[in-house]
Structure 1
Amino acid sequence: MPLFRLPDGRDLEYEVRGPGSGPVVLFHHGMPGSAVPMDTVLGSMTQSGYQVVTYSRAGYGTSSPNAGRTVADTAADCALLLAHLGVAHHRVVGWSAGGPHALASAAVAPEHVEGVLIVASFAPFDADGLDYVDGMGAQNVAQFATAGQGEPAVREIVGQMAAAVRGNTPADVGTSMASLLPPVDLAVLTAGYGADNAATMDHGLSRSDEGWVADLTALTSPWGFDLDDITAPVELWHGALDQMVPVTHGQWLTAHLPTAVAHLTPGDGHLSLAVGSLGEKLRALSARAPRPLPDVPKGRLADGWT
C-alpha cells in the first residue's frame, strides 16, 4: 500500500478503493485495525459510487508510530493526506474507535468535511454522567480499567488481547473474545467478515502493538477538540445489543452533538450494525449534506487506486 510522508518525517499508510470518480469518503478504522480494505465493510460504499480512502493510524501496519498522539492529532494527519490526494471536500465514516477520529476530522478541518457518519462510536472517557464500561464485555472492561495506571499496565493488557487475535481464525477469535460478542455479532464474525477482520488486524499488528497502545491511551485521554466544534451534519448509529461499545455511549453522544440525527437499532450489535450497510447509511447522510460534493480532480488518486 502507498505511503504518504508527513511533514514531520513520519509515514502514513493508505489505500483507495472504489470507482474512478465520485465523492470521497475517509474511513476511520477500529481498534485494532489498519488500511487493509475490508470488502464486507467497504463494499456497500464503493458500490454506491463512493471513493473510499482507508489508512493505518500511527503505529499500525507500516504507519510510523507517533508517541503520545491524541485523537485530534490523527485527524490532522488525515487532513494532510486528503490535501495530498487533491481532495477539497469529503465525508468521513468512523466505526467503533474510529468514531471519535471521524468526529475529530470534522472539528479539525470543518471547511473540508461535509458530513460525518459514526457507527457504534465511543463517547469521551470523561463523559459527564456516563458509566463508561457499564454493559461492556469482560475484555473491554479489563482494557479500559488500565486508564491512569501507566504505560506498563496498558502494554500488558494490549499484549494479552493482541495475542488473542493475532494470526487466529475467526472461530478462535470468537472464542477468545466471547464476552464482547452477542449471537448476532458472532454470526457475522464467523461468516465472510471474519476473514476480512483477521486480515486488517493481522496487518495492523504485524510490526508491533504500538498502534493499539496509542489508541487505548488516546481514547482514555482528552481528545484534543470539543464536540461543540462540530458543525457538519452527523448521522449516528448504534445497536442496542452492542457489548463492545454499549448503546449508552451512543445515547450520550446524541445528547451532546447538536447536529446529530440518531438511529438506535434494537436488534443489532457492534458488528451486525456496520457490515454490509455503510453505503445505505451514507445515503441518509448525503441527504443532509449542505451541498453536493464535487468530483475529485482526475488523476490525483491514481497512485493509490486499485
Structure 2
Amino acid sequence: MNNFVTPPERQTAMQLNDGRKLAWSEWGPVDGVPVLFCTGAGMSGWLGFGASYLSELGLKLIAIDRPGLGLSTPHPQKTLSSWADDIQEFIQAHHLDNVLAVGFSQGAPFAFTLAGCGLVKAIAIVSGQDELSHPSLKPLLHPDVARIVTAIQQDPVEFERQFAQIATADGLWQLIISMSAECDGLIYQSDIFAQAYQQALQEGFAQGANGYARDLVNALSHWPIKLEDINVPVDLWYGALDTSTVHSPDFGATLALRLPNVSHIVDPQQGGSILWTRARDILAKLKSDVSLT
C-alpha cells in the first residue's frame, strides 16, 4: 500500500489450553526468525511495520491480538503475567526458537514482560510507555497522566469499569492525533496510513472496550517484572520530537538507567512514528543483538 503499511500476509488463530482463542497476523517468510510485535493501545495485530524489509533480514513479524482485542478471546483476569503465559503456550505450540519482540507505545510493558519471563532473546521498545507508576517518574508526568495513575492506584477495579463505559475506537484515534507531533500527524493522517491505523483500532474494539480498559490498568499499574533483572538485550528507540504524554516522559533516560543490557537511541529528527520511519534500522539492530543459531 505504501512504504509504511502493508496488509497482513497471513492471519490465523489457535485454541489455548483453557479454550480461549488467540489470533494473530503475520508478515515475512514463514521460516523467518520470529519477531513478536506487541502493538499499541487498543489495536488488533492488523497494523504491522517494516514488511518490505523482512525477507532480506530473514525475519517473520507476528502481531498477536491481545486477549479481548481483535479476534482473541477475552481473559477474565488478564494481567501482564497471564499475557506471558499465553505467549509461552504460543511459542511452545509452534516450536519457535530465537524469539525476538518489539513493543510499541502501550505494547512496551507486554514486551518487557516477555523479556522478564525469559521468553525472548532480545527486545526493542519503540516510542514505549515507561513504567509510569514508578516513583522516579512521578515529577515528570503530565498532570492528566498523573491523575490517571493515581486513580488506578486507588481503585483499579472501579477505574476499569468506568473507563470501559466511555472508551471508543474513534475516541482513542482522536486522542492519538491530538497528542501527536506535527511530523507524526503527517504520517498518521495520510490517507492510507490513517485508514490502516483506524482499522486496527476498530478491530481492537470489536468486542467492546473491556480489553483495552484492562490493558490500560495493567500498563499503568506496578509492573510484575523488575526491569533491573532483565538481562537480555533491550533497544530503546525514541524520537525527540514525540509529544505524546503517555510514552516515556524523558525519552527512555530513566528506563535506560534501570536496564542492565541496554542500547538507547534518541533520534532528534523523529517523533513517535519512528517505528515506521526507521523500521529497517529497528529490525536490523534487534536481529544483531543476539547470535541466532
User: Is 1:13 the equivalent of 2:23?
Assistant: yes
Q: TM-score when scaled to structure 2?
A: 0.85
Contact persistence 1:119–1:238 (CA under 8 A): yes
In the alignment, the residues of structure 2 paired with residue 142 and residue 179 of structure 1 have an alpha-carbon distance, to the nearest angstrom, of: 19
1:50 Cα deviation (Å)?
Answer: 1.1
Equivalent in 257, 267, 270 of residue 268 of structure 1: 270
Contact persistence 1:44–1:280 (CA under 8 A): no
In the alignment, the residues of structure 1 paired with residue 262 and residue 62 of structure 2 have an alpha-carbon distance, to the nearest angstrom, of: 23
Q: Which amino acid aligns with 1:126?
A: S
Matched residue SS, 1:97: helix
User: Is 1:253 the equivalent of 2:258?
Assistant: no
1:253 Cα deviation (Å)?
Answer: 0.7
User: What corresponds to 1:125 in structure 2?
Assistant: 132
Q: TM-score when scaled to structure 1?
A: 0.82
Q: 1:132 to 1:97 in 2, by over 3 A?
A: farther
Which runs of 5 or more residues in structure 2 are unaligned? 1-10
Kindly indicate whether structure 1 or structure 2 has the higher relative contact order, using CA contacts under 8 Å at least 6 residues apart. 1
Contact persistence 2:233–2:289 (CA under 8 A): yes
Contact persistence 1:44–1:276 (CA under 8 A): no
Q: 1:163 to 1:203 in 2, by over 3 A?
A: closer
Matched residue SS, 2:25: strand
Contact persistence 1:106–1:232 (CA under 8 A): yes
Equivalent in 129, 154, 157 of residue 151 of structure 1: 157
User: What corresponds to 1:232 in structure 2?
Assistant: 232
User: What corresponds to 1:113 in structure 2?
Assistant: 120
Q: Give the structure with the higher percent helix.
A: 2
Contact persistence 1:70–1:224 (CA under 8 A): no
What is the number of equivalent residue pairs in this alignment? 278
In the alignment, the residues of structure 1 paired with residue 186 and residue 171 of structure 2 have an alpha-carbon distance, to the nearest angstrom, of: 17
In the alignment, the residues of structure 1 paired with residue 251 and residue 210 of structure 2 have an alpha-carbon distance, to the nearest angstrom, of: 26
In the alignment, the residues of structure 1 paired with residue 169 and residue 288 of structure 2 have an alpha-carbon distance, to the nearest angstrom, of: 43
In the alignment, the residues of structure 1 paired with residue 150 and residue 179 of structure 2 have an alpha-carbon distance, to the nearest angstrom, of: 16
Q: Mapping of 1:1-306 within 5 angstroms?
A: 1-38=11-48, 41-47=49-55, 48-108=57-117, 110=118, 112-131=119-138, 134-135=141-142, 144=149, 146-147=151-152, 148-162=154-168, 164-165=170-171, 173-174=173-174, 177-191=176-190, 192-242=192-242, 243=244, 244-248=246-250, 250-271=252-273, 273-289=274-290, 291-293=291-293
1:270 Cα deviation (Å)?
Answer: 1.6
Q: Which amino acid aligns with 2:36?
A: L
Contact persistence 1:159–1:209 (CA under 8 A): yes
- Percent identical pairs in the alignment equals 23
